[in-house]
Amino acid sequence: MAGRTPTDSSPELEIKVQPRLSDPHPLAPPPGRRHHPAPPPSRPPPEAYQPFKKWLPLLVPTIVVANVVLFVVAMYINDCPHNSQKCLGAKTLGRFAFQDTHTNPLLGPSATTLVRMGALEAKKVVDENQAWRLVTCMWLHAGVFHILPNMLSLLFVGIRLEQEFGYLRIGLLYIISGIGGSLLSSLFVRTTISVGASGALFGLLGGMLSELLTNWTIYADKLTALMTLILIIVINLAVGILPHVDNFAHFGGFISGFLLGFVLLIHPQFGWVSQQTAPPGYYGAKAKSKYKLYQYVLLVISLLLVVAGFTYGLILLLRGVDGNEYCSWCRHLSCIPTPLWTCEARCKVMDSGTLSNQVGNQVKLTCLGNGKSKSYMLSNGNNTSAIQQLCSQLCSKCWVLTNKDLVGAEQQK
């Protein structure tokens, strides 16, 4: 008997084999390919390194608001319509009207008002022991054209720094740099008053430069960042040779901020941060130093220079030393006369550079620009603005100009 053959309708038997749970390759590799065992599982990598913690910027906007509020208060105290004959915007602004442009071309209050509120005046610091003016002057501004660029610059530079380093370190950098600018300015600018935040702003720029240098290894495009920052600093310092710009405050603030940047704006090195975030034992038992050796060296040297510089500068200032007597060419750091402009007059009062040697209300002025000397009788021997106007007449075409912050001669009433 012939055997039967299966037909298409015959049922088929399927056998399914479940892979073992421990089998890392449940599916067979395609024909022609060799089976490669999976590599052993590795340790999880450490968390991604972030060079700085992102801070919420609160201090810098607060400083901006404080400066604007104080400017409004200064305009209220100034009350130009009540105290002066010529004002700008008296009908519209009332007591907030600006002094006329002859008195204050920056659209702001009179020098008298600024002195009352704490403007820097070397004579008052030396003779009346009002060293607090070194701090208060950085919160005052001479006018709208003075406060507007300063506050915009502060927002542009300060917010980025506060986001990276926090309010405490940036606050210290801002305040100490501002004092450094005021200190150097008061040693060389003896016959005018000074207000403004320019010294503190240049301190932030100086801090950015030293921060780049001390944290050099964490930057990718180092040379481009360095050259860009140096160009910005050089341009801003070059503006200081123009009329009505106090470059002494700029230099003082920049040098202070540059040194403080090595102290306050230092980042830990990558290896130390990685150890802090990695699982125990990931990098072995050897501990990494938090900072590199060169960072420690720069920190110590800079801290010593800041302490020594501020101490020596304060001693010179409180003793009434006039820096112009020991550095005759230094006045060109603040203004360089050209055919396009002249510079604000600077004079030595008597022989010591202070008002202490005045005879009654008589004062002798010597122009530092042309060497001319002359004696004058004053109704008020302590009137700094009157002395400045006489100095301008004596020096004639020897005017030395300043912006941070120098305000012109006080209005004569």
Distances (CA, A) of 122 to 137, 323, 346, 352: 12, 12, 13, 13
Residue type at position 33 = R
371's CB contacts (< 8 A; 6+ apart) are none
Judging by DSSP bridges, how do beta strands 362-367 and 373-377 pair with one another?
antiparallel
Distances (CA, A) of 170 to 60, 232, 252, 291: 9, 20, 17, 20
Dist CA 351 CA 275 (whole Å): 64
Q: CA quadruple 353, 355, 360, 365: dihedral positive or negative? A: positive
Name the catalytic one among 141, 146, 244, 250: 250
198 carries an active-site annotation: yes
Name the catalytic one among 182, 198, 302, 334: 198
* Selection from 184, 77, 177 nearest residue 402 by Cα: 184
- Count other C-beta atoms under 10 Å from residue 318's C-beta: 12
Residue 201 near residue 139, CB atoms below 8 Å: no
340 alpha carbon, distance to own chain's centre: 30
State both tokens at 172: 């210290």
Dist CA 407 CA 277 (whole Å): 54
250 carries an active-site annotation: yes
Which residues are catalytically annotated?
198, 250
